[in-house]
Structure 1
């Protein structure tokens, strides 16, 4: 059951464009700062600010949108602000102002991230459609990395934000048609809840008892693996002489995730959510170890496939669980907490990894302790996670 197919496809288009933009700036901001002559330590700090702002603001906007029962206004503000930010990036090269713009980008992306909440509401938590949303996210990552790279090869890194400006205007053009019929959404959820006897008992208390272990698991997984993703091209370059091979390996990850996200929508159920979470987190630890021991193209390819399975499994299972146990009254709060935990892990893990490199500048030595954090995520889920509906 979905509220509006037109609105469903519109949001899928919006999230595709937004993630093309997001992956492009994540992938090439460091190179742009290098082009400006920024010192390495400042490049690392500025790039780290993106996940910093992405864990601070989502809970605020999510809870506020729950209270106001309005997602559209927040999404529109985010969509309008993006072209302004990129336009300022084109004309500003002062490092202090660039830091401010990066933080503002984090605010805007947090606002646009509420589209996931609205999407779950208009599809009434349909697991298959949620998997389509996730697949559009990773397809955007793939296209952002590839199209951004092609554009930079042709027009130069100095025109990076011209590329982002064009896509942000296209995204804004789609956002103009965004609708939110809140009364119909709430009525649809009430009808759905009335058919779920077990779910209905939980609603009487006004709040779903979501298991908090999912947030700690997300945090520790990203704490361990995300810092490595930011230096993965450097690690690969130690063993691979071809930039085209490295580019293929990096782009292959989100491309295969596109299909895996759709597959997870078919495979994951209430009864096996915990299993998929645990396996996903265990695979993340194996992948970190794999990056340490990889020495050629095919070994890197194998572990890129594993990391694709890892992310698709734990991320899909976690968000299916949240979707099935929330309503329009609290959905913004819980989804935003998940996203915040995810980015808090990225930010704090990046700082931890930087500290390890200060102690020992060898990347491989610094990567070894990170293996244990996704294992901790798996252990947390094994010991603490319990899906009341599935058990």
Structure 2
């Protein structure tokens, strides 16, 4: 074979390989989108009724708040380790699938509990195993596109559309199947979504020599791994560390409100409006997510992060003072838009500030900080709501105002 023929053959092979990689990436996008859409349908059905279920089992407002505290405390502890392991193994789909499957199995078990303590224990375990999903999920989305903001916006729209559909389905079928039936259906959907995610095709994990034994596993040889302390320190210092602090403050305010707002909706407008108002919120997030992602790519994540914080303040004041359904619907729309903005802007900001090899850890830290805010916030929210929902909602202006002032100092 002549030199020219060799060059032509090599060029054809490279072109075929590039086409094959593009096809695999597109297939992965479709499979991940379908899997996460179904998962969020399940989340949308089950989550709004957890607080109501706790009240039906005899738990007070403190126990309602502890549902969020327990889940997010364990999630905070385990998100960074799971993010590290997904970086180390280069196996995102396994962690996503495991998190979805375990969350679904525990939702199904919740249908059979009869005491507040049992529900709280299951929610705690759910936070532990479910935390495997989010760091790998966030890192994988960033790896599927060179336009990170648009990718997060697209998946944000898809997932919020699923959550919205779940909210509406839950609000409609609760009269027929009850809360226990909703948990069983949500569990089945999550198991199905975990199976779909396993169909993703990832590059083979590189073989590395393990260095330290830190994860003891009963009955078989332990996984050998080590946390990169230097990476953790890099992620937590400087402007990125300041950004994580602002996210913590915003999520404290979020935890104050959303850990109790379903009870507030149920008492104010009736149980059927719990799912419907959450659904309107999710619909707004779904419709705005992709457009916001494109705007974030064009104008920068910081600007939209600041707008999102302002949106939180306006929405929470709306919850405090809106007493009619039309106004509350408008507030729910605003709430959905600010959540899409928060998720897209914060994920894009972090993903574009770190190296690809540390992206899983960086996303794990972002999700851990969000979860930590939901550990602190529900304590405050449960206590203040026992006195007045309005007092609780308006008090969020304190952490939100501080977060806004700190975020102004962040670089673009």
Kept in 2: contact 1:283–1:310 (CA 8 A): yes
Pairs within 5 Å for 1:1-391? 4-93=25-114, 95-113=116-134, 114-182=136-204, 211-236=240-265, 240=269, 247-269=275-297, 271-357=299-385, 361-383=387-409, 385-387=410-412
Count of paired positions: 363
How has the CA–CA distance of structure 1 residues 208 and 309 changed in structure 2, closer, same or farther, with 3 Å as cutoff? Answer: same
Q: Tell me which residue corresponds to 1:188.
A: none
User: CA shift at 1:174, angstroms?
Assistant: 0.7
Instruction: Give the TM-score normalised by structure 2.
Output: 0.78
Q: Secondary structure in 1 aligned to 2:356?
A: coil
Q: Secondary structure in 1 aligned to 2:32?
A: helix
Moved more, 217-226 or 231-240: 231-240
How has the CA–CA distance of structure 1 residues 22 and 41 changed in structure 2, closer, same or farther, with 3 Å as cutoff? Answer: same
How has the CA–CA distance of structure 1 residues 148 and 293 changed in structure 2, closer, same or farther, with 3 Å as cutoff? Answer: closer
Alpha-carbon distance in 2 for matches of 1:350, 1:83: 23
Q: Tell me which residue corresponds to 1:189.
A: none
Kept in 2: contact 1:53–1:107 (CA 8 A): yes
Per-residue CA distance 1:346-368 (angstroms, 9 max, x = gap): 2201112233346xx12222333
User: CA shift at 1:332, angstroms?
Assistant: 0.7
How has the CA–CA distance of structure 1 residues 230 and 101 changed in structure 2, closer, same or farther, with 3 Å as cutoff? Answer: closer
Per-residue CA distance 1:162-196 (angstroms, 9 max, x = gap): 21232123213313312211579xxxxxxxxxxxx
How has the CA–CA distance of structure 1 residues 93 and 179 changed in structure 2, closer, same or farther, with 3 Å as cutoff? Answer: farther
Which protein is bigger by CA-based radius of gyration?
Answer: 2
CA RMSD of aligned residues (A): 3.0
Q: Secondary structure in 2 aligned to 1:330?
A: helix
Give 5+ residue unaligned stretches, structure 2: 1-21, 207-233
Per-residue CA distance 1:89-127 (angstroms, 9 max, x = gap): 344545554433212211232112222212221324543
How has the CA–CA distance of structure 1 residues 158 and 207 changed in structure 2, closer, same or farther, with 3 Å as cutoff? Answer: closer
Alpha-carbon distance in 2 for matches of 1:95, 1:231: 16
Alpha-carbon distance in 2 for matches of 1:275, 1:139: 25
Moved more, 278-287 or 46-55: 46-55
How has the CA–CA distance of structure 1 residues 3 and 381 changed in structure 2, closer, same or farther, with 3 Å as cutoff? Answer: farther
Give 5+ residue unaligned stretches, structure 1: 185-204
Q: Tell me which residue corresponds to 2:7.
A: none
Q: Secondary structure in 2 aligned to 1:267?
A: helix
Kept in 1: contact 2:48–2:274 (CA 8 A): no
Per-residue CA distance 1:216-273 (angstroms, 9 max, x = gap): 1211112123322333345456765x66666543321110111111111221236432
How has the CA–CA distance of structure 1 residues 147 and 322 changed in structure 2, closer, same or farther, with 3 Å as cutoff? Answer: same
